[in-house]
Chain A
Amino acid sequence: MVMKIETLIRHIKEAYRGIQRNVAMSFASISAVAVTLFVFGIFLIVAFNMRFISNELEKQVAITASIEEGTSEAQVQQLLQNIQADPMQKFAEYVPKEEGLKQMKEQWGDTDFIQDLSEDGSNPLPDVIRVQPKKSDDIEKLAQKIEKLPNIESVDYGEGVTERLLNFSGWVRNLVFLFGLILAVVASFLISNTIKLTIHNRQREIEVMRLVGASNWFIRWPFFFEGAFIGIVGSIFPILFCLLMYQAALSVLNDGATFGVFKLMPMLSLSLYVAGSTLLLGIIIGVLGSIISVRRFLKI
């Protein structure tokens, strides 16, 4: 389907005329698309962050194996080598209790609780070996294996929490998808009604075009552009709104006392994803709406 530049310009002009003639309805459609895309954008932000957080968590997934008190340095080294030989592990390190306390202080701050722990200079923490699995799915198996090794007092791997979070984020993703689909259909329907009005106004024109032998695509293109235009304009405000809101949320969370676990996705990568998908969906909705409405008028 090759189109001449002058034909393309004509189609775009026609699309513009269509919008101009139905300002009120066009405005209504654009608003409907905007609302749809706004909700979609928020869900998108939530979904992206769910994935981001669960990815981050996955990276942090680790087994902490406490070593029995009184185990000799050589035994500990032997133990570490045993664990490092396991094909399921990615990384294993020995963390003596002094180091553990230091890390704890870094993570939680020098709170009273930590102060109390080591008030008298003693250190209640055990020496541990920290192990990261290659695949987070293997964590349970690996933990059980390590538990059976000699000189291991206990293992801890945050049983279930990570799995549940991963499941939850998958579930949210599906829900977002479904919700977005329903909203898109509703918005397409609204756009198709607007374009139907334009077509109605131009029915005689279309009739004449068909009579003199204009191709169906020649008749269709202006409505395509009209739909796409409504979609694009309708996506600008929701994109700006969503991103501004996210920026605000980010700055609030970053300023306040936050837990390190819930680090949100950084602004730049998120805004590209959100703006791109929202704009794309806007165009798809617009074009879909125009296809729905033009089809019936093009009976041969």
Chain B
Amino acid sequence: MIEMHDVWKVYPNGVEALRGIDVRIDQGEFVYIVGPSGAGKSSFIKLMYREEKPTHGVVLINGVNVKRVRDWKIPHVRRKIGVVFQDYKLLPKMTAYENVAFAMEAVEAPKRRIKPRVEEVLELVGLLDRKNAYPSQLSGGEQQRVSIARAIVNNPTFIIADEPTGNLDPENSWDIMYLLEEINKRGTTVVMATHNKEIVNTLRQRVIAIEQGVIVRDELGGEYGYED
């Protein structure tokens, strides 16, 4: 569960990215974050995986106040959160398999558990037969699927996706969406910032709209609501 109470984010240059956010996202939900560019979506997302700290207010991740967590414990908070980016952030010198295994090695998972688990998630994203390919040998959609496999390999309770279909053509975008939907059905919360009107309007879920740092709309099964 993610909770925010009167959360403000003010950057050192004086920009007020978020101005009093109150929101609660329960376990198992699927949430779209929409809004114009520069409205505060990125700051909102970054607060959720503790890349940023709130300037004011409380952010609770699974009941833990992230502002109070000691720096050295932050990694443990992050292990419960899988993050997916628009630009995939795969390591170019590693194969698909190695990229996913790297996430398990980094949290010092026992070696004998790595191989079966990595193969399991690669199977889930439909890339087990491409496991020895390098990112440069994969299409954009395939790369994004590898990054999703990496995000879920450590069994997070949340997936936070920042414009995961931003660089993909419609067909690949839909593949990614079905994958995220599948992951959500297995119980993982998915929070996704997006500009994709078609997806939001077709695959109806909870929609949170942010404009000028404020939540202006929060409805279940809502529409995208912007023209672009």
* A residues lining the B interface (CB < 8 Å): 4, 6-7, 10, 204-205, 207-216, 218, 300
Contact = CB atoms under 8 A, between A and B. Distances in A.
B134 interface: no
Given A208-B102, A211-B49, 10 more contacts: A6-B111, A208-B103, A211-B89, A212-B79, A212-B106, A213-B76, A213-B107, A215-B76, A215-B108, A216-B75
B74 A300 contact: yes
Contacts of A211: 49, 78, 83, 89
A218 B72 contact: no
Contacts of B91: 204-205, 208
Contacts of B76: 213, 215
Contact of A213 (B71, B89, B111, B154): B154
Given A218-B108, A300-B50, A300-B74, A212 B150 contact: yes
Contacts of B79: 212-213
A205 B72 CA distance: 19
Contacts, number: 55
B85 to A, nearest CB: 9
Contact of A4 (B81, B89, B108): B108
A207 B89 contact: yes
Contacts of A218: 106, 108
The 9 closest A-B pairs by CB, nearest first: A213-B79, A214-B106, A213-B78, A212-B103, A213-B75, A209-B106, A215-B75, A300-B71, A300-B74
7 contacts: A4-B108, A204-B91, A212-B150, A213-B79, A213-B106, A215-B75, A300-B50
Contacts of B105: 10
Nearest to B80: A213
A254 B79 CA distance: 68
Contacts of B154: 212-213
A209 B71 CA distance: 15
Contacts of A207: 89
A215 B109 CA distance: 12
A216 B75 CA distance: 8
Contacts of B89: 204, 207-208, 211
